[in-house]
């Protein structure tokens, strides 16, 4: 009987041929999944929600991330705080996953009670020598950028979150995105590894054949295009695309809108992200089937509808902001072959459903796109676990960001001794 030695995480990373996909073991193994969660979802900054998840003092949003659980809380001063969802008495969970509104955070086991700032206010039968000041809830490093709530569960959060803040705060400010509300939200459990979810999001090679709703407004050429074999008409259309992009960008910039791409994606980065203002096809207003706004109450005090799509990638999220609405998605890994994708559609805080927007039009593009992506991730994960799977080459035109993500993934593991 032949016994094959199990390769280490590093050996599998080394096995990856440059410019090719990752070995199947990096997607399917439990030990590698646990290391990924520890490094990429504990020691790095991750997106875990938006401020409108907890719009009022006393609102709580509870999220489970691996073995960890956190409480996002709006305190009495209306600040967003995050705490470990662990009672300081005997460790019971204070809240189950989901949203709620409370006056205090009360442990269901022995009723230890905590204020919204995390301080312990009541613990019966502990005696006069007990000091409640030493038993406040454990805080979690938190940073709110625009409406995006980022946390880091590690002891030493990466400092380069400051650069993400520096780049995105003025871009979000042009929409007053913090003054928004959730018009709709969805959860999908995709049958694939979290890295495959992100890889799928980092390319649009697949878009023309699989995303008819998205490609009504989205221009896949923005993320790479091969001109080999194109006829004269197609080359002329591509030239017109480039001219339109340049003219639109010049027009936006003349009115003070930030457009340039910022790519903080290299192997030496920690808090990886990318942002750019993209042209929307058709009528150019929003990511809807008719490419016009879905919400007539625009963000902030905007009057111009055709402001394109300000997008943001991080290693666990993607965001699209138009003049009328925003789509914010983030992922939480559940198992080697299960990934939770949460998506929130945001509109102006004062927009009225049925008057300013209809939910079906607001969600028609990304609700369909998310389901299509879930199917693609599922069939890809299944295929990578087949004994016949051999990683193929990335397209040098349309999958450069997927290759970059693979290199960044390996570099971050090396930085943590893997």
Q: Which two tokens stand for residue 406?
A: 């693979």
Architecture of the domain whose range is 45-156: 3-layer Sandwich (2.102)
Q: How far apart are CA 194 and CA 410, in angstroms?
A: 15
Rounded distance between C-alpha atoms, residue 228 and residue 144, angstroms: 45
Mean pLDDT of 339-363: 98
Reported as a single tens digit per residue, the pLDDT across 265-284 is: 999 999 999 999 999 999 99
3, pLDDT greater than 60: no
Of the pLDDT bands very low, low, confident and very high (cuts 50, 70, 90), residue 223 is: low
d(CA 2, CA 46): 43
187 Cα distance to chain centroid: 13
The tens digit of pLDDT for each residue in 93-148 reads: 999 999 999 999 999 999 999 999 999 999 999 998 899 899 999 999 999 999 99
Per the DSSP assignment, residues forming a β-bridge with 329 are 318, 343
pLDDT band at 1 (very low <50, low <70, confident <90, very high): very low
Residue 376's pLDDT band (cuts 50, 70, 90): very high
Q: Domains of the chain: which residue ranges?
A: 1-43+158-417, 45-156
Q: Which fold has domain 1-43+158-417?
A: Naphthalene 1,2-dioxygenase Alpha Subunit; Chain A, domain 1 (3.90.380)
74 pLDDT higher than 60? yes
Res. 228 pLDDT band, cuts 50 70 90: confident
The token pair at 253 is: 């910039």
Mean pLDDT of all residues in 376-393: 98
Rounded mean pLDDT, 384-412: 96
**Residue 107 in contact with residue 58, Cβ under 8 Å?**
no
DSSP class of residue 12? H
Relative to beta strand 98-101, strand 105-106 is: unpaired
pLDDT confidence of residue 317: 98
Tokens coding 198: 């992100």
* pLDDT given at position 218: 82
């Amino acid at each position: 009987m032949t016994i094959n030695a199990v390769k280490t995480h590093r050996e599998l990373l080394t096995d990856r041929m440059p410019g090719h996909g990752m070995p199947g073991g990096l997607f399917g193994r439990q030990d590698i999944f646990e290391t990924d969660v520890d490094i990429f979802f504990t020691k790095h900054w991750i997106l875990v929600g938006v401020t409108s998840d907890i719009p009022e003092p006393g609102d709580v949003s509870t999220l489970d991330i691996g073995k960890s659980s956190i409480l996002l809380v709006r305190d009495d001063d209306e600040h967003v705080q995050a705490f470990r969802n662990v009672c300081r008495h005997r460790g019971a969970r204070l809240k189950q996953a989901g949203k709620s509104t409370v006056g205090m955070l009360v442990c269901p086991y022995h009723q230890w009670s905590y204020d919204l700032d995390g301080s312990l206010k009541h613990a019966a039968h502990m005696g006069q020598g007990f000091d409640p000041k030493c038993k406040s809830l454990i805080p979690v490093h938190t940073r709110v950028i625009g409406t995006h709530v980022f946390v880091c569960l590690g002891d030493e959060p990466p400092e380069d979150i400051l650069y993400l803040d520096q780049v995105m705060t003025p871009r979000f400010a042009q929409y007053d995105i913090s003054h928004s509300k959730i018009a709709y939200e969805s959860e999908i459990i995709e049958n694939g590894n979290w890295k495959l979810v992100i890889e799928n999001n980092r390319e649009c090679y697949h878009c023309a054949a699989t995303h008819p709703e998205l490609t009504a407004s989205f221009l896949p050429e923005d993320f790479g295009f091969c001109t080999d074999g194109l006829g004269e008409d197609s080359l002329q259309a591509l030239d017109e695309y480039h001219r339109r992009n340049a003219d639109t960008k010049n027009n936006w910039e003349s009115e003070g809108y930030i457009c340039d791409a910022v790519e903080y994606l290299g192997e030496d980065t920690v808090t990886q992200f990318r942002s750019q203002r993209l042209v929307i096809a058709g009528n150019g207003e929003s990511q809807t089937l008719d490419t016009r706004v879905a919400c007539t109450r625009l963000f902030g005090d905007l009057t111009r509808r055709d402001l394109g799509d300000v997008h943001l990638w991080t290693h666990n999220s993607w965001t699209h902001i138009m003049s009328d609405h925003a789509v914010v998605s983030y992922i939480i890994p559940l198992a080697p072959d299960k990934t939770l994708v949460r998506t929130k559609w945001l509109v102006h805080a004062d927009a009225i459903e049925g008057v300013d927007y209809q939910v079906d039009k607001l969600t028609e593009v990304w609700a369909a796109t998310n389901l299509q992506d879930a199917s693609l991730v599922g069939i890809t994960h299944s295929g990578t676990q087949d004994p016949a799977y051999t990683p193929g080459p990335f397209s040098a035109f349309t999958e450069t960001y997927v290759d970059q993500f693979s290199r960044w993934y390996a570099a971050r593991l090396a930085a943590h001794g893997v």
